[in-house]
């Protein structure tokens, strides 16, 4: 039996199905075949998972970006312009991706940008985001609008607190 992948929007895998065949499968053959649930592997998969678990109104708010969908469209365009080229069979034991940001050492050079309404996505709001940033060895940039006080958020982060952005 060989795995047969079905592909959806923009070529991302939707499900893996096992078929007793060595040839390419057709959609007609897939009807009634049990689906093996896969963990999310791409941002699109995580987006779909969020849509499924978040309350509808909260998902609509998040999906709309800055309420006019321009931010979402620009983010998607910028992300799709990136190409990650895997390099196989190379020695990576001496590679270091750590860096310093505003005097803070971080082991992972990706930061979480400031965002509002974390409570719409998770009951622990910014505390959960700070904990995730700390677990990944990165920083969370603090928004001027948050659901918990800085004193409540900071202990959740494993690393140093990130800079706070102030807009006047």
Per-residue confidence at 24, pLDDT binned at 50, 70, 90? Answer: low
111 within domain boundaries: yes
Please tell me the distance from the alpha carbon of residue 146 to that of residue 130, in angstroms, as a whole number: 12
User: Which pLDDT value is given to residue 75?
Assistant: 85
Please report whether residue 165 resides in a domain.
Answer: no
Find, among 100, 117, 25, 27, the residue nearest to 64 by Cα. Answer: 117
Asked if 44 and 103 sit in the same domain, the reply is: no
- Domain interval for residue 101: 96-156
Tell me, yes or no, whether 68 and 17 share the same domain.
Answer: yes
**Residue among 130, 125, 119, 122 at smallest CA distance from 158:** 130
Residue 139 maps to a domain: yes
- Please determine, for residue 160, whether its predicted confidence score (pLDDT) is greater than 70: no
Predicted confidence at residue 8, as pLDDT, reads 45
Domain count along the chain? 2
pLDDT: which is higher, 60 or 36: 60
| pTM summary value | 0.59
Q: What is the mean pLDDT of the segment spanning 65-90? A: 83
Does residue 84 lie in a domain region? no
Q: Are residues 47 and 101 in the same domain?
A: no
> Residue 128: inside a domain, yes or no?
yes
Together in a domain, 74 and 121: no
> What is the pLDDT confidence band of residue 21, given thresholds at 50, 70 and 90?
very low
Same domain, 69 and 38: yes
> Is 13 within a domain?
yes
Using the 8-state DSSP alphabet, how is residue 140 labeled? B
> Same domain for 7 and 62?
yes
Give CA–CA dist 60/121, Å, rounded: 11
Q: What percentage of the chain reaches a pLDDT higher than 90?
A: 1
CB contact set of 139 (below 8 Å; sequence gap of 6+): 101, 104, 106, 111, 112, 133, 159, 160, 162, 163
Residues 117 and 56 in one domain: no
Pair (40, 106) in one structural domain? no
Q: Is residue 86 part of a domain?
A: no
CB 63 within 8 A of CB 72: yes
**pLDDT band for position 35 (cuts 50, 70, 90):** low
Residues 146 and 113 in one domain: yes
CA–CA dist 162, 102 (Å, integer): 9
């Amino acid at each position: 039996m060989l795995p047969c992948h079905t592909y959806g929007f923009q070529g991302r895998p939707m499900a893996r199905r096992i078929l007793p065949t060595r040839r390419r499968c057709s959609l007609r053959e897939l009807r009634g075949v049990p689906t093996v649930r896969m963990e999310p592997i791409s941002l699109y998969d995580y987006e779909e998972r969020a849509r499924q678990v978040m309350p509808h109104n909260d998902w609509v708010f998040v999906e709309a970006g800055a309420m006019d969908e321009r931010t979402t469209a620009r983010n998607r365009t910028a992300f799709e312009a990136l190409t990650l080229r895997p390099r196989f069979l190379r020695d990576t034991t001496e590679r270091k991706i750590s860096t310093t940001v505003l005097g803070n050492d971080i082991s992972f050079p990706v930061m979480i940008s400031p965002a509002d309404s974390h409570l719409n996505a998770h009951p622990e709001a910014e505390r959960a985001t700070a904990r995730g940033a700390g677990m990944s060895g990165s920083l969370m940039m603090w928004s001027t609008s948050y659901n918990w006080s800085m004193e409540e958020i900071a202990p959740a982060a494993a690393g140093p607190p990130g800079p706070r952005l102030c807009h006047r």
